[in-house]
């Protein structure tokens, strides 16, 4: 599905005109034009005419006004400013972006009617409307940004360049610095105008991220790091730029900076990487990471972040040793046992990751003969591309998103720079991961649920499929979970077995939880806490459970009770003695707990099985105690 073409005010391939001033008419003629312009708008009086005549006597060459100091130009009184505005709109004066950034104009878009600016301003506002910008943003972007660009350059809209935008941006920044204020409003309008110009094909690059300052290196991450170490970390980050994505290098720099600040505290006299010691520097850092807290909120950092900090440091030390840096530590300092274990290592391998969701393309749905609709998941965290089967409800949702998304010019892919039509767009940009998380949290709050993350949704969905009988092999194919052994065996894309497993499991999930397509049946809330918790006992898992002498057995509800469960305890040949009483007692306690759990879940057959075992264990224990 392609986005509808956007309205272009002027041909993008037209020859660029050289900016030139309109020849200034004789003073009498110019004053006559000015009077007619004022009369058309129902404005003006003798004071306006007198001020205009005085301006021309002082600056007969009106462009010489632009050579004056900014404060002199801004000192023009209320009767003179309308004449200056008239000169600007009729290509008789280009005062510079500093003046245009400081000057306030009342209804500049309206004042530009019947001038060469009118057509371009109208086309710009129409394109901004198609992209979904609000009336306020599109009118302010047209007035505050585009009109000033057209006035100062003397060009048509299709002739504007990135350099023009950057010059106006510099003027906005300078204005904010002079006033000691922030320039967030101007930055927002500039960003919106740049976005519209990109989608019109006027400029070839998307606007810079307005929430992040542009930096040519990673030195800004190393605040608080000793200067000698900051230099070496910068060298390392620079060496990685050829093989790593910019965001990855940013993450590495940020995590290494944590170690640098740790060294500054515990050993301020250290001045060389070769002097780093295991006990004094590394082990104290490992302890610091284990208790580290986030800057916002003061919450403990996640186990994943702990691992990332330690792995990044270990990789840095290993790399500089392999590269032969003369100041590399003489021996290995980070070991695999230093890396904390994740509480749920498989959780990250379930469902669409946020990055994969953002990277979905407009044509991500593929209809395969005899196998239905499939979702093409692009290269993600593990650099794997896969196909996931789709049910009718999900397919309808994707169609609805495609119909309501913001129409955009193809955006450069963040990994390949290939022009790409993404599925999730808003105001001419890709929807950010932060926006997706915020919307999910808001939806959870509205539904009266605890704060929910995309990871929990992926994990919940995968667990629901498993609990409904989907095989692990099919789930690995659908969700892109790879390992050295499994990835080669199960990485087939259009597998009929995968489709059959998916549809059978999904039917059971919908029967248990309800479906958006069946509003008559109220949906049952998935046990997100049970599924995502890392502290629950195995006896609390939402599965069929059996206590064994050497461990325990877990089965999904779809598999039913095991025909071999506790077969030995019921066998006539089973024998026990007093030495096994503690084992039997522990098994009996667990069986009683499992019986209560099965009854609470409404699993009648499973409860009856536990009841039979409970009675059999009582018989064995009573017989053993008597003998």
Q: From the candidates 309, 481, 545, 609, which is the catalytic residue? A: 481
The 8-class DSSP code of residue 402 comes to: H
Q: From the candidates 262, 281, 455, 510, which is the catalytic residue? A: 455
d(CA 83, CA 126): 29
CA dist 453 → 171, 353, 441, 442, 548 (Å):
41, 11, 7, 11, 36
Cα dihedral sign, 431-434-439-444: positive
Write the Ramachandran bin of 91: left for phi over 0, alpha for psi from -120 to 50, otherwise beta.
left
Q: From the candidates 353, 459, 609, 620, which is the catalytic residue? A: 353
Q: From the candidates 458, 459, 566, 609, which is the catalytic residue? A: 458
Residues 6+ apart with CB under 8 A from 556: 466, 467, 468, 469, 543, 544
Q: From the candidates 99, 285, 490, 502, which is the catalytic residue? A: 490
DSSP string, 128-171: HHHHT--HHHHHHHIIIIIHHHHHHH---GGG--HHHHHHHHHH
Q: Where are the beta strands (DSSP E) in 312-407?
A: 365-368, 372-377, 386-389
Cα dihedral sign, 252-257-262-267: positive
Q: From the candidates 220, 381, 451, 575, which is the catalytic residue? A: 381
SS (H, E, C) 564-584: CCCHHHHCCCCCCCHHHHHHH
Is 178 a catalytic site residue?
A: no
The separation between CA 367 and the C-alpha centre of its own chain, rounded to angstroms, equals: 28
Is 381 a catalytic site residue?
A: yes
Q: Classify residue 390 by burial, with Cβ atoms within 10 Å: 0-12, 13-18, 19+.
A: buried
Specify the pairing of strand 386-389 against strand 372-377: antiparallel
Instruction: Find the Cα–Cα–Cα–Cα dihedral 60, 63, 67, 71, rounded to 10°.
Output: 80
Is 481 a catalytic site residue?
A: yes
Give strand pairing partners of 153.
Answer: none
Residues carrying an active site annotation: 353, 381, 455, 458, 481, 490
């Amino acid at each position: 599905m392609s986005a509808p073409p956007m309205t272009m005010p002027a041909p993008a391939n037209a020859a660029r005109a050289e900016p030139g001033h309109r020849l200034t008419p004789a003073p009498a003629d110019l004053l006559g034009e000015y009077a007619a312009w004022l009369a058309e708008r129902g404005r003006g009086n003798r004071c306006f005419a007198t001020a205009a005549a005085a301006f021309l006597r002082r600056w007969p060459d009106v462009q010489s006004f632009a050579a004056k100091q900014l404060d002199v130009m801004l000192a023009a009184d209320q009767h003179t400013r309308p004449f200056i505005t008239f000169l600007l709109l009729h290509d008789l004066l280009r005062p510079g972006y500093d003046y245009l950034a400081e000057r306030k104009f009342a209804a500049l878009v309206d004042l530009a009617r019947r001038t060469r600016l009118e057509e371009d301003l109208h086309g710009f506002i129409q394109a901004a409307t198609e992209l979904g910008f609000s009336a306020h943003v599109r009118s302010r972007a047209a007035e505050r940004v585009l009109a000033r660009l057209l006035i100062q350059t003397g060009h048509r809209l299709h002739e504007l360049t990135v350099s023009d935008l950057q010059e106006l941006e510099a003027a906005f920044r300078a204005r904010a610095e002079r006033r000691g204020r922030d320039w967030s409003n101007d930055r927002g309008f500039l960003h919106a105008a740049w976005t519209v110009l990109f989608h019109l094909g006027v400029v070839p690059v998307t606007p810079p991220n307005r929430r992040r300052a542009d930096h040519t290196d990673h030195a800004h991450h190393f605040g608080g790091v000793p200067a000698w170490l900051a230099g070496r970390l910068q060298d390392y980050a620079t060496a990685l730029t050829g093989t790593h994505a910019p965001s990855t290098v940013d993450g590495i720099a940020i995590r290494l900076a944590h170690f640098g600040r740790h060294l500054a505290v515990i050993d301020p006299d250290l001045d060389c990487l070769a002097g780093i010691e295991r006990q004094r520097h590394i082990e104290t850092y490992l302890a610091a990471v284990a208790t580290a807290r986030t800057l916002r909120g003061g919450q403990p950092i996640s186990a994943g972040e702990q691992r990332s900090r330690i792995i990044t440091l270990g990789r840095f030390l290993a790399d500089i040793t392999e590269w032969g840096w003369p100041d590399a530590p003489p021996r290995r300092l980070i070991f695999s046992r230093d890396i904390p274990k994740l509480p749920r290592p498989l959780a990250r391998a379930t469902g669409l990751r946020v990055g994969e969701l953002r990277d979905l393309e407009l044509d991500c749905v593929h209809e395969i003969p005899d196998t239905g609709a499939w979702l093409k998941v692009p290269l993600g965290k593990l650099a794997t591309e896969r196909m996931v089967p789709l049910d009718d409800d999900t397919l309808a949702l994707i169609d609805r998103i495609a119909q309501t998304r913001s129409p955009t010019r193809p955006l450069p892919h963040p990994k390949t720079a290939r022009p790409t039509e993404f599925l999730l767009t808003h105001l001419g940009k890709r929807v950010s991961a932060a926006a997706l998380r915020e919307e999910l949290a808001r939806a959870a709050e509205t539904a009266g649920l605890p704060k929910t993350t995309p990871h929990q949704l992926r994990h919940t969905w995968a667990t629901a499929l498993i609990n409904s009988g989907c095989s692990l092999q099919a789930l690995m194919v659908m969700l892109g979970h790879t390992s050295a052994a499994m990835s080669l065996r199960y990485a087939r894309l259009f597998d009929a077995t995968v489709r059959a497993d998916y549809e059978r499991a999904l039917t059971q999930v919908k029967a248990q939880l309800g479906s958006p397509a069946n509003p008559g049946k109220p949906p049952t809330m998935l046990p997100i806490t049970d599924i995502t918790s890392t502290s629950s006992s195995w006896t609390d898992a939402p599965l069929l459970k059996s206590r064994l002498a050497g461990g325990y057995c877990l089965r999904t509800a779809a598999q039913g009770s095991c025909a071999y469960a506790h077969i030995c305890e019921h066998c006539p040949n089973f024998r026990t003695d007093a030495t096994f009483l503690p084992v039997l007692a522990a098994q009996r306690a667990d069986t009683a707990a499992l019986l209560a759990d099965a009854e609470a879940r409404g699993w009648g057959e499973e409860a009856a099985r536990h009841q039979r075992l409970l009675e059999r264990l009582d018989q064995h224990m009573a017989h053993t105690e008597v003998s």
